[in-house]
Structure 1
Amino acid sequence: MKILHIDASSKFHQWSNSRALGRYFLQQLKSNGVEFDIDYLDVTEDVQPHVSAEFVQATYTPKEERTERMHEVLASSDAMCQRVMDADVLVCAMPMYNWTIPSTFKTFIDAITRTNVTYDLLADGSTVGKLGDKKVLFITTRGADLRQGSPYNHMDAMTPVLKAAFAFIGVEAPQFVDAQPLQFTVAEAREAALVRAHNDLDQLAAEWATSMAKCNQPEMAV
């Protein structure tokens, strides 16, 4: 199994809760006996280009009609799409910045949302995502408490953006572990938030290990 492990925090490794939680989940998977290879991507270092007029024109030009310049413009996106398609699992760890996803993760989404690559555009104008076979986990860290019942709950623009963007390319049921609140609160609440996140990741790692073990069992001959 191949896991594409993505970090999107602008903080250095030793100061980033989202980076630490992503590493922790992968360690828990290993502890539960899951074998995997890692393709690591830090989108704060490997920043994808913003969408440009050239990119849009190249994307919607049939592949066989693209110019050499169009192929150059799409090269980094082609490579990123291939990395995503080669993975069985995506583990995406990121902080919430100003109520939504980091801009570097948005450019990653733009790079992998490609007509006739990660989704098909049909003759009637409808679309069909092509990444429905991928297992996706979003590990997010939030400064404020955006859980149900919180006065900030309505300001969570992160979750709907991630759900919508990945549903479009075929991922209908991504999973979320959200650590919150981690900044706008007292120390005890921050510590409790991290404990909840670790417990959720422990449970999820155990569930994934069980389901993957069942998938790998040989069928009984009849």
Structure 2
Amino acid sequence: MATLLHIDASSRPGRSGDQPHGSHTRRLTARFVERWQTARPDDRIVYRDVGRHPPSPVTGEWIHAAFTKPAQREPWMHETLAASDALVDELLAADIIVAGVPMYNFGVPAGFKAYIDNIVRVGRTFGFDRSRPGLPYWPMLSDMRKRLVILGARGDYGYAAGERMAHANHVEPHLRTVFGYLGIDDVYAIAVEYDEFADQRLRASLGRAERRIEELTGELAKSLETAVC
């Protein structure tokens, strides 16, 4: 049995196609999870909505607590890090992370940035030692064989590598950097475009994304079966 961590980051409630002004990324993550449950009904699904219930931003107290060695932490430090610890525990337990991350002003939504800041944790998801030869930091999740699926949505079009707006895409490249820093390098990205145009191009983009999700869920489910065998 595997664990799938399902994260939604859109500020929009509901799903496009079901509700007026619903979220495309919520629609895509729901489609992925539905297909996954069909292929692997015994797997555990953990849900986290950082769009409607964002984690608290990192504060000076948080930084002080996180960079204090666990054995030396005072009670208030453990309390300060409790929510972050819960998010890290979810990430560590997950085999597949499916994140619906729309593009807001060329980057990730604030709730998802707060999520990132809470899971990038010294001693838990990355290591740091000033005396270490070479680089003083290293990823701690490299041997866990986790896969990250980024399901996005963009108002304009042409944000893929080599296209007209690729230089302004700070979503997928940012997430590949952050999760790669932790040791999660197996990353897949699917995105809907043309939302601001709301015409046939948007409908076609949604169709392509949903077809690719069906293919990807099959590929990943099969790869897990092969790994077990």
Q: TM (normalized to structure 2)?
A: 0.88
Q: Once the two structures are superposed, what CA deviation does each residue of 1:59-96 show, in whole Å capped at 9, x if it has no partner?
A: 11111111112111111111111111111211101211
Unaligned runs of 5+ in 2: none
CA offset at residue 209 of structure 1? 2.1
Map 1:143-154 to 2 at 5 A: 143-145=155-157, 146-148=159-161, 150-154=163-167
CA offset at residue 17 of structure 1? 0.9
Map 1:82-161 to 2 at 5 A: 82-122=89-129, 123-124=131-132, 126-132=136-142, 133=144, 134-145=146-157, 146-148=159-161, 150-161=163-174
Unaligned runs of 5+ in 1: 218-222
| 2:226 alignment partner, one of 203, 207, 214 | 214
* CA RMSD of superposed structures (Å): 1.6
Counterpart in 2 of 1:68?
A: 75
| 1:43 alignment partner, one of 44, 50, 59 | 50
Q: Which amino acid aligns with 2:173?
A: P
| 2:191 alignment partner, one of 154, 164, 178 | 178
Q: Distance in 2 between matches of 1:80 and 1:209?
A: 24
Q: TM (normalized to structure 1)?
A: 0.91
Counterpart in 2 of 1:190?
A: 202
Counterpart in 2 of 1:220?
A: none
SS at match of 1:10: coil
Q: Distance in 2 between matches of 1:58 and 1:176?
A: 34
SS at match of 2:202: helix
Structure 1 window deviating more from structure 2 (25-34 vs 187-196): it is: 25-34
SS at match of 2:86: helix
CA distance 1:148–1:76, shift in 2 (3 Å): closer
CA offset at residue 149 of structure 1? 5.2
Counterpart in 2 of 1:167?
A: 180
CA offset at residue 33 of structure 1? 4.2
SS at match of 2:31: helix
CA offset at residue 147 of structure 1? 2.9
Q: Distance in 2 between matches of 1:113 and 1:216?
A: 29
Q: Distance in 2 between matches of 1:104 and 1:186?
A: 25
Counterpart in 1 of 2:12?
A: 11
Q: Once the two structures are superposed, what CA deviation does each residue of 1:98-127 show, in whole Å capped at 9, x if it has no partner?
A: 011001000000001100011111332522
SS at match of 1:54: helix
In 1, are the aligned partners of 2:10 and 2:52 still within 8 Å (CA)? no
SS at match of 1:191: helix
* Identity over aligned pairs, percent: 29
In 1, are the aligned partners of 2:65 and 2:77 still within 8 Å (CA)? yes
The count of residues paired between Structure 1 and Structure 2 equals 216
Q: Distance in 2 between matches of 1:5 and 1:25?
A: 9
CA distance 1:90–1:69, shift in 2 (3 Å): same
